[in-house]
Structure 1
Amino acid sequence: MKIKSFLAKPFASMVSKNIKKGMLTAVEDQEAILKSLIKTAKTTQFGKEHKFTEINDYKDFAQAVPVRSYEGLRQYIEEIKAGRHNVLWRGQPIYFAKTSGTVSGTKYIPITKDSISNHINGARNALLCYMAETGNSVFADGKLIFLSGSPVLERVGGIPTGRLSGIVNHHIPRYLRRNQLPEYETNCIEDWETKLNKIVDETINQRMTLISGIPPWMQMYFDELIKRSGKPVGELFPDFSVMVYGGVNFEPYKPKLFESIGRKVDGIETFPASEGFFAFQDTQTEPGLLLNTDSGIFFEFIPQEEIGKEQPKRLSLGEVETGVNYALIINSNAGLWGYDIGDMVKFVSTNPYRLVVTGRTKHFISAFGEHVIGEEVEYSLLKAATAANIHITEFTVAPFISTDKGKSYHEWFIEFENEPENLQRFSEQIDQFLREKNSYYDDLIAGNILQKLIITPVKKNGFIDYMRSIGKLGGQNKVPRLSNDRKIADGLTQWAKN
């Protein structure tokens, strides 16, 4: 055992014990964070406008601070970009995380001196909990790859600005930098395909032990490794033992990724976003991700049926229940207040507070009143694919609204790794599983209002070609699972099989 992995063990044990202690005080920690946030921000422009000095408890806070999207904070962000201090949080942000929104266009998410540790320590704690539980620390001595955006930062209003993954790259501890791949110059390449080829050049002959990234881009990396070497990834990298992933639901990608690896490796799931590092997998034996309850973020939850209401019911952590879908709302020491991040979550445990991400609040289909969400389509496809031994590369679903005598339906665009022998039977299986999962959809089918779903197979690499065509190939970009309109569906038609 080398010195790095040897020293990591006692540190991992200490951090893991502290996290387990925090599981017992999660609600109290959240209450303390809210008080601290209000106290610190009461002299800011936002705090004065929302009368923070008059807030005594969560009920007061929920009445004073409305739920809002990025658009609701845009005016404050613009003032920060213009050079003003003490707008949303004390001083000025040390970074802007630049990200794209479906409605808001480019978004500039503040990261402050107080909030940067949330982003850095979240990923670190996930790895340390894994080490403490499994005893596997040897991977720290090998080569580690983080498939991420460019670390090159521009300045917006004098504030360093870039992709979150690129910003975090600047804060990787020095003791890990010697193990990190790809090289800095390679990471700076903007074009994803050029960058991918260079990454393969640098890593194919290395002793890779940990690979991290968004699942679809890890799959592209694996595909290129296999193409070049003619070997499964697990054979090419015999010491590869840990895969860290997040950003999208892992389950639809899991079969193909593990087929590409060719053997078992341990997985660590995370729930990061430009707005914060919200949760991580703290154990290999229990489902769900542990909510990051003591890291500068006060969480709120809006039940699914309340989403979109002018004054939705808002719950604090101590009021949530298992098995219920909630929109996740955050208030943070980055200066985000009542901020709807656009994700829906469901708790699988409240002792401790572990959750799963079930979809996006704006990614759903309800063109006919069915309100189908991401969790339901992913479940249905995965169950049908597993039964038929079918591997899915990528997929998305959109409504098809008939304008003639035919009935409307859901159209599923699917890129298959191996197509089913009977596509009609496969589509009927998915449809049946979806009907079991969503009673509204079942009523529409049973009532002869909708016809059963139709699958449109997509050519190999069709989704990659589509993302390239709209300038969103690589980085943190991913194809939405669901749309309530035909924009993505119509864009994909040129890559549909006849």
Structure 2
Amino acid sequence: MSIKSFLIKQLARYISKQKNGQALKGLDYQEKIRQELVAVGQTTAYGKDHQFDKIVDYASFKQQVPLVDYEALRPYVERINGGEENVLWKGRPKYYAKTSGTTSGAKFIPLTKESIPNHFGTARNSVFNYIAQTGKADFMDGKMIFLSGSPALEKKGDILLGRLSGISNHLVPSWLKGNQLPSYETNCIEDWEEKLDRIVDETMHADMRLISGIPPWVQMYYERLLERTGKKTVLEVFPNLSIFVYGGVNFEPYREKLESLVGGRIPSVETYPASEGFIAYQDQQDAPGLLLNINSGIFFEFVPADQYFSENPPRLSLAEVELGVNYALVLNTNAGLWGYSIGDTVQFISKDPYRILVTGRIKHYISAFGEHVIGKEVEQALLEALEVEPAKVVEFSVAPQVTPPEGGKPYHEWWIAFDQLPENLELLAERLDLAMRKQNIYYEDLVRDKILQPLKIRPVPADAFRQYMKSIGKLGGQNKVPRLSDDRKIADKLRELFPSA
């Protein structure tokens, strides 16, 4: 063990002990953060517009701070772009994290001097917690690869602008820079296929010990790496590979494929970062759930997902949540986001400390017939079905078929990219339908009452979703395939690409 990894191990133990202690006082820290945010917010244009001076408790906070999406904050962002100070938060943002907009172009999520530690500090804490738990720090002596978007930044006025993963690249401390791959130049390549080849060039002979990224793009890296080296497993290429850090999507649907490529199971750490804030991370190796980041500049609120689209949905503080309920996540942050719904849904599995599961996206669901199927349900149903009728699945997406071209009752249409087909596709569809009926009682009622047909599977080639993502200009980086759609945009595009499916 090097001096660096020895010192990091000591620091990791200290930070892990500190964070675990804070986690047990979640309600105290959340109330303190709410008060601190409001105190600063009173001095801003947003706070004055919304009479933050009237806020004395959580009830009055909800009266003055509306539940919003980005479009409601866009006029304030435009004021910041015009050079104004103290608009959403004191001073001016240091960065904008650029994300895809759904209605009127790109979104520019502010990052401030106060909010930046939430992003990089929590990423560090997630790895340090792993070191403290396991005592393993040797991976700090080798190379680490972070598969991310381009770190090249633009300017929006005087504010630096880029993808969050690219901004994070600039925040890596000097003591870690020497371990980091790929190079800055390679990371700046926009074309994913070209970038992937260059990453393989730079890493195939390195002592790689930590790999981080979104599972589907890590899978592409592994496949290209093995193709180029002629090796059978990643562990033959990187015998010291020790840890996989991931986030963005549920790992379980990718686990079997990734582990077969790696040549076994290696320890992993799940994280829950978003452009709006680093929300949670895995704090236990032997138990499910992610530890909510209760003391990092974010005041959390939760809206019961089944009431989210009602006229006046209830908003709950951390003190009011219940286990096993699906909630839409709302953030108030020291970057100047107020009552901001990020579109994700979570469930609590523990309140001592507060641990969550990420269950999907509030807008990624199917409720064409009133069933409100969510991401967690389709992922779990597929895993259960594959236990009975084995196959190797690369990716999938589900859409409603309201008016089947072949006639008959409507149904849910599962577009599944198989690396290895099941022996009996019809049997897999039957098992999958039974699993879905168990997961969602409304779906069960619709199929039982013959309002819906049982689901249908459309098998497509292993690289079908990569072709789809390429066709819409979103191959690589941090882009993800939606598992659920309440419309047929993805399904119709897949039908166009694969008419025989």
What residue is the counterpart of 1:162 in the other structure? 162
* Contact 1:298–1:330 under 8 Å retained in 2: yes
* Contact 2:290–2:355 under 8 Å retained in 1: yes
Is 1:440 matched up with 2:442? yes
What residue is the counterpart of 2:10 in the other structure? 10
Per-residue deviation at 1:10? 0.6
Instruction: Find the partner of 2:420 among 410, 418, 421.
Output: 418
What residue is the counterpart of 1:201 in the other structure? 201
Is 1:429 matched up with 2:434? no
Is 1:277 matched up with 2:282? no
RMSD value over aligned CA atoms?
A: 1.0
User: Secondary structure, in 3 states, of the residue corresponding to 2:379?
Assistant: helix
What residue is the counterpart of 1:401 in the other structure? 402
Percent of pairs with identical residues = 57
Amino acid of the structure 2 residue aligned with 1:419:
L
Distance (whole Å) between structure 2 residues aligned to residue 201 and residue 108 of structure 1:
34
**Residue by residue, what CA displacement relative to the aligned partner does 1:312-348 show, whole Å, maximum 9, x if unpaired?**
1111011111111100000000000000000000011
User: Secondary structure, in 3 states, of the residue corresponding to 1:243?
Assistant: strand
**Residue by residue, what CA displacement relative to the aligned partner does 1:445-479 show, whole Å, maximum 9, x if unpaired?**
01111101111111231111111111111111111
* Contact 1:96–1:160 under 8 Å retained in 2: yes
* Contact 1:344–1:358 under 8 Å retained in 2: yes
**Residue by residue, what CA displacement relative to the aligned partner does 1:379-433 show, whole Å, maximum 9, x if unpaired?**
0111112333322101000001126751101111000110011111101111100
**Residue by residue, what CA displacement relative to the aligned partner does 1:195-222 show, whole Å, maximum 9, x if unpaired?**
0000001001111000000111000001
Per-residue deviation at 1:494? 3.1
Amino acid of the structure 2 residue aligned with 1:4:
K
User: Secondary structure, in 3 states, of the residue corresponding to 2:265?
Assistant: coil
User: Secondary structure, in 3 states, of the residue corresponding to 1:417?
Assistant: strand
What residue is the counterpart of 2:473 in the other structure? 471
Per-residue deviation at 1:104? 4.3
Distance (whole Å) between structure 2 residues aligned to residue 460 and residue 21 of structure 1:
46
What residue is the counterpart of 2:482 in the other structure? 480
Is 1:362 matched up with 2:363? yes
What residue is the counterpart of 1:226 in the other structure? 226
What residue is the counterpart of 2:309 in the other structure? 308
User: Secondary structure, in 3 states, of the residue corresponding to 1:109?
Assistant: strand
Per-residue deviation at 1:63? 1.0
* Contact 1:459–1:495 under 8 Å retained in 2: no
Per-residue deviation at 1:101? 2.8
Number of residue pairs matched? Answer: 498
Unpaired runs of 5+ residues, structure 2, are none
**Cα distance change, pair 316–104 in 1 and its aligned pair in 2 (3 A):** farther
Matches of residues 176-255 of structure 1 in structure 2 within 5 Å?
Answer: 176-231=176-231, 232-255=233-256
What residue is the counterpart of 2:456 in the other structure? 454
User: Secondary structure, in 3 states, of the residue corresponding to 1:63?
Assistant: helix
Is 1:98 matched up with 2:94? no
User: Secondary structure, in 3 states, of the residue corresponding to 1:372?
Assistant: coil
Identify which range, 101-110 or 139-148, moves more after superposition: 101-110
Amino acid of the structure 1 residue aligned with 2:273:
P
* Contact 2:398–2:413 under 8 Å retained in 1: yes
Amino acid of the structure 1 residue aligned with 2:435:
F
Is 1:332 matched up with 2:333? yes
What residue is the counterpart of 1:493 in the other structure? 495
Distance (whole Å) between structure 2 residues aligned to residue 19 and residue 460 of structure 1:
42
User: Secondary structure, in 3 states, of the residue corresponding to 2:98?
Assistant: strand
* Contact 1:29–1:294 under 8 Å retained in 2: yes
Distance (whole Å) between structure 1 residues aligned to residue 249 and residue 483 of structure 2:
10
Distance (whole Å) between structure 2 residues aligned to residue 43 and residue 135 of structure 1:
46
Distance (whole Å) between structure 2 residues aligned to residue 420 and residue 40 of structure 1:
58
User: Secondary structure, in 3 states, of the residue corresponding to 2:75?
Assistant: helix
Distance (whole Å) between structure 1 residues aligned to residue 378 and residue 424 of structure 2:
20
Distance (whole Å) between structure 2 residues aligned to residue 128 and residue 403 of structure 1:
52
What residue is the counterpart of 1:322 in the other structure? 323
User: Secondary structure, in 3 states, of the residue corresponding to 2:114?
Assistant: coil
Identify which range, 213-222 or 95-104, moves more after superposition: 95-104
**Residue by residue, what CA displacement relative to the aligned partner does 1:179-206 show, whole Å, maximum 9, x if unpaired?**
1000110011111111000000100111
Distance (whole Å) between structure 2 residues aligned to residue 55 and residue 41 of structure 1:
11
**Cα distance change, pair 284–403 in 1 and its aligned pair in 2 (3 A):** closer
Identify which range, 231-240 or 205-214, moves more after superposition: 231-240
User: Secondary structure, in 3 states, of the residue corresponding to 1:67?
Assistant: coil
Identify which range, 416-425 or 100-109, moves more after superposition: 100-109
User: Secondary structure, in 3 states, of the residue corresponding to 2:126?
Assistant: helix
Distance (whole Å) between structure 1 residues aligned to residue 446 and residue 307 of structure 2:
23
Amino acid of the structure 1 residue aligned with 2:391:
I
User: Secondary structure, in 3 states, of the residue corresponding to 1:110?
Assistant: strand
Amino acid of the structure 2 residue aligned with 1:162:
G
* Contact 1:80–1:157 under 8 Å retained in 2: no
Identify which range, 444-453 or 404-413, moves more after superposition: 404-413
- With normalisation by structure 2, the TM-score equals 0.98
Is 1:72 matched up with 2:95? no
Amino acid of the structure 2 residue aligned with 1:486:
R
Distance (whole Å) between structure 1 residues aligned to residue 444 and residue 351 of structure 2:
31
- With normalisation by structure 1, the TM-score equals 0.99
Distance (whole Å) between structure 2 residues aligned to residue 305 and residue 188 of structure 1:
42
Unpaired runs of 5+ residues, structure 1, are none
Amino acid of the structure 2 residue aligned with 1:57:
D
What residue is the counterpart of 1:125 in the other structure? 125
Per-residue deviation at 1:55? 0.4
User: Secondary structure, in 3 states, of the residue corresponding to 2:106?
Assistant: strand
Per-residue deviation at 1:105? 2.8
Amino acid of the structure 1 residue aligned with 2:370:
G
What residue is the counterpart of 1:89 in the other structure? 89
Distance (whole Å) between structure 2 residues aligned to residue 276 and residue 492 of structure 1:
33
Amino acid of the structure 1 residue aligned with 2:427:
R
Per-residue deviation at 1:254? 1.0
Amino acid of the structure 2 residue aligned with 1:152:
A
Per-residue deviation at 1:3? 1.5
Distance (whole Å) between structure 2 residues aligned to residue 420 and residue 480 of structure 1:
23
* Contact 2:388–2:431 under 8 Å retained in 1: no
* Contact 1:215–1:245 under 8 Å retained in 2: yes
* Contact 1:70–1:104 under 8 Å retained in 2: no
Identify which range, 104-113 or 327-336, moves more after superposition: 104-113
Per-residue deviation at 1:39? 0.2
Distance (whole Å) between structure 1 residues aligned to residue 265 and residue 451 of structure 2:
45
User: Secondary structure, in 3 states, of the residue corresponding to 2:161?
Assistant: strand
Identify which range, 162-171 or 486-495, moves more after superposition: 486-495
